[in-house]
Structure 1
Amino acid sequence: MGLDLDFSVVLERWPLFLDGAVMTLELAFLAILVGGAVGTLCAVGRGSRNRLIAGLCAAYVETIRNTPLLVQIFLVYFGLASIGFKFSAFSVAAAALAINVGAYTAEIMRAGFESIPPGQIEAAEGLALSRFQIYWHVILLPAIEKVYPSLTSQFVLLMLASSITSQISAEELTAVANYVQSDTYRAFETYILVALGYIALSLVLRAAFWALGLVLFPRRRRLGTPL
C-alpha cells in the first residue's frame, strides 16, 4: 500500500493557517508580557520578609507548576462562565497562559535574584542609591541578564503550549488545523504543515529574543552571547 499525499487541497486554505499563526503569536505575546510581569513580582514577593506575601506567592507557584495547563485553562474558562463573566476564547486563553507562565517565570527570576552577590547590594547602599535604583540597576537588570536564556526558552515553550487552547475553541494554529483536516480529510498532510509552521514560529521567536538580547545587554553584545 503506497502513501498517497496530496498537499494541494490543504495549501488552498493557507489564509486560515496564516490567521491561526498570527493568533498564536498574539496569544504568546500577551501571555509573555503579563506573565513576565506577574512572575517577576511573585519572585520579589517570595523573597519578602512578610510571611503572608511570601506564602501566597509560594502557593501560587506550586499550585500552577503541579497542575496540568489544560486543567488550568478549563478552570479559567468554565470558572468565569459559572459566575456570570463572559469573555472570548482568546481572552480566556491569554489569561490562562499568562497565569501559567507567570509561575515558571517566578522560579526562573528567583534564581536570578539569588545569583546577585550580597556584597553588590551592600556596595550600592554604600553609594546612597535609592531603593528603586538598587532594585532596578543592581538586582533586576543583572538578574534578568543571568537568566535570559532560560526565560526565552520558557517563553518559546509557552508559544508551543498555546496549541492546547484549541480545546476551548481559541482559533490559533492547532484549532485551524483541526478544522482543515476535518474539511479536507487530509489529516497527515495538515499536521505536517502545522508542525513546520510551529518550527518556523519558534525560529521567529528565538530570533526576536536574540535581537532583544543585543539591545538589552550591551556586555553580552560585546561578548557575542546575547542568548
Structure 2
Amino acid sequence: MQTALQFGPILIHLDLLLRGLEKTIQLAALSILFGTAIGVLGAVGRSFGPRLVSWVIAAYVELIRNTPLLIQLYFVFFSLPLFGFKLSSNTAAVVALSIHLGAYATEILRAGIEAIPEGQIEAAKSLGLSRYRIIRHVVLVPAARAVYPSLSAQFILQIMGTSIVGAIAAEELTAVANNLVMQTFRSFEVYIIIAIIYFVLVQVASLLFAGIGKLVFRWKV
C-alpha cells in the first residue's frame, strides 16, 4: 500500500521549526566561540607551557576524543549536580559541546604550531620580540592560517553535533522534529524537512566560514 506524502500538517508548525533552528544556531555559535577559545589556550599550553600543564592538557584531549559526545553531555547534565553544579539543559549543552570542540581544536591548532619553522621563532627572538608577541604574531596567526580549513570543517561538525542535545531536553531543531513526529505521526515528512533545513544551514555556514577566512587571513581558504 502506498502512502502519499503530506507536508501540510508539518508546515503549519513552521514557527516551531524556526524556533528550533534559532536555538540550534545559538548553541552552535556559543559552543564554537568557547570551544575555539579552549582550543587556543590548550594548544599554546601544550606547546609552550610547563611539562605538567602539557600532560594535563594531553590527558584532557585524549579523554574527550576517546569518549562519545553523548556520554560527555550526560556527564555534564546529570553528574555535575552531584558536585553542586546544577545547569539548565541549554547551559549544559553549551558546556559539553564547548569542551568537546575544545579538545579537537587543541590538536588541530597544535598541529599548525608544530608546522611553524623553528628558525622563524629564533628570528623573532633575535629581534627582541616578547614571548607574548612571538606566540601571538609569529606562531598563532600563521598556525591558524594553515589549519583554518580543518578547523572550519570541525565547526561544521559542531553544528551537526547539536542534534543530540535534545537527549537532555534542550529544544533545538532535532528535538522539535521528534516532538512533531509524535504529534503528527508523519515521521518521513518531518525528517525530510529537517534534512533540508540542516543542508541549507550547513551550506550557509560553510560560505560564512570561508568568508571569515578570506577576511581574517586575506587568502583563499
* TM-score of the two chains, using structure 2 as the length reference: 0.97
What is the count of residue pairs matched by the alignment? Answer: 221
Counterpart position of 1:52: 52
Query: Over aligned residues, Cα RMSD in angstroms?
Result: 1.0
> What letter corresponds to residue 189 of structure 1 in structure 2?
E
Matches within 5 A, 1:68-87: 68-87=68-87
1-structure distance, mates of 2:4, 2:206: 35
Q: Per the alignment, in what secondary structure is the counterpart of residue 171 of structure 1?
A: coil
Q: Deviations over 1:14-50 (max 9, x none)?
A: 1111111111111111111111111111111222352
Range that drifts further, 83-92 or 202-211: 83-92
- The answer for the alignment partner of 1:8 in structure 2 is 8
- Partner letter of residue 50 of structure 1? P
C-alpha separation in 2, matches of 1:213 and 1:84: 41
The percentage of counterpart residues that share the same residue type is 48
| 1:149-205 alpha-carbon deviations (Å, 9 max, x no partner) | 000000110110111101001000000001111101101100110011111111111
Q: Which amino acid aligns with 2:18?
A: L
Aligned partners of 1:170 and 1:23: how far apart in 2? 9
Is the counterpart of residue 159 in structure 1 residue 156 in structure 2? no
Q: Distance in 1 between matches of 2:79 and 2:42?
A: 23
Match of 1:89 in 2: 89
For 1:55 and 1:86, the matched residues in 2 are separated by 29
Task: Give unpaired runs (5+ residues) of structure 1.
Answer: none
* Alignment correspondent of 1:171: 171
CA drift at 1:87: 2.0
Letter in 1 for 2:196: L
SS at match of 1:157: helix
Following the alignment from structure 1 to structure 2, what is the Cα–Cα distance between the partners of residues 32 and 216? 17
- After TM superposition, what 4+ stretches of structure 1 lie above 4 angstroms from structure 2? none
Distance, in Å, in 2 between the alignment partners of 1:187 and 1:10 is 10
Distance 2:115 2:3 in 1: 54
The one-character-per-residue Cα deviations of 1:120-154 (angstroms, maximum 9, x if unpaired) are 11111111112221111110010000000000000
Deviates more, 1:84-93 or 1:139-148: 84-93
Aligned match of 2:142:
142
Q: What SS does the aligned partner of 1:47 have? A: helix
CA separation in 2, counterparts of 1:116 and 1:46? 15
In 1, Cα distance between the equivalents of 2:80 and 2:187? Answer: 34
- Residue 86 of structure 1 and its aligned partner are, at CA, apart by 2.6
Q: Does 1:100 align with 2:103?
A: no
User: Structure 1 length as normaliser, TM-score?
Assistant: 0.94
Rounded to whole Å, the distance in 1 between the matches of 2:108 and 2:206 is 18
Query: Distance between the aligned counterparts of 1:85 and 1:214, measured in 2?
Result: 40
For residue 154 of structure 2, what is the amino acid of its counterpart?
Answer: Q
